[in-house]
Chain A
Amino acid sequence: EAGVAQSPRYKIIEKRQSVAFWCNPISGHATLYWYQQILGQGPKLLIQFQNNGVVDDSQLPKDRFSAERLKGVDSTLKIQPAKLEDSAVYLCASSLTSGGSLTDTQYFGPGTRLTVL
């Protein structure tokens, strides 16, 4: 079974530029998550999709971050414009159920390391 795929693995941009990350979850997984992991901290949930609908985006800085999950499969996360404090690893995860089971396992991709100069 293929895991969660993310691209690119690394990205370096100047502040005020735009950047986009892509995630392809495990086939058949209904739930998709984007996390931000700043160096020295644990992952912080940015947005959670159930199929192609947003379940939770309470910690997404909506003035500069946007995300979509078209057709309930893969997803993109965009930052426009980027700030220095956006430097982090952006992790995508997926889980199987669409019923919000708390016992369901999240499977993580390798992440995209973003450096904003």
Chain B
Amino acid sequence: AQSVTQLGSHVSVSEGALVLLRCNYSSSVPPYLFWYVQYPNQGLQLLLKYTTGATLVKGINGFEAEFKKSETSFHLTKPSAHMSDAAEYFCAVSEGGYQKVTFGTGTKLQVIP
């Protein structure tokens, strides 16, 4: 069965600092991987997704993630944090069928001015 582990339920960074949110997955087949962002009282918005091909995926708002099969990881990064990046971030995996997606437990990002 597919699963996702997000390391760190809360991450704090200073404005302008590197953002690194960690995600490790488990899948019995080549996975499709996603990062979503959720702002307070809003639904989830897709940041980026990996399906096949290039392992470095660029998303919206300056975020990117790298698929590393050997490490079963899909960490999310952004070179310079902005106050507007404060939100909860969810990593997710899908491995087959009609897009059944399994979400991680989320990481809340706090950006300190």
Contacts and interface: CB of A to CB of B under 8 A. Distances in A.
A17 interface: no
A16 B52 CA distance: 47
Interface stretch (A65-73, A78-86, A108-116): A108-116
A105 B98 contact: no
A4 B42 CA distance: 11
A103 B49 contact: yes
Contacts, number: 65
Contacts of B42: 110-111
Interface string B75-113: 000000000000000101010111111011110000000
Interface residues of B, number: 25
B98 to A, nearest CB: 4
A91 B100 contact: no
B43 A93 contact: yes
Interface of B: 4, 9, 32, 36, 41-46, 49, 51, 90, 92, 94, 96-101, 103-106
28 contacts: A31-B98, A31-B99, A40-B9, A42-B4, A42-B90, A42-B103, A42-B104, A42-B105, A42-B106, A43-B103, A45-B101, A48-B98, A55-B98, A56-B97, A91-B43, A93-B44, A100-B98, A100-B99, A102-B32, A102-B99, A103-B32, A103-B51, A104-B99, A105-B46, A106-B44, A106-B101, A108-B43, A110-B43
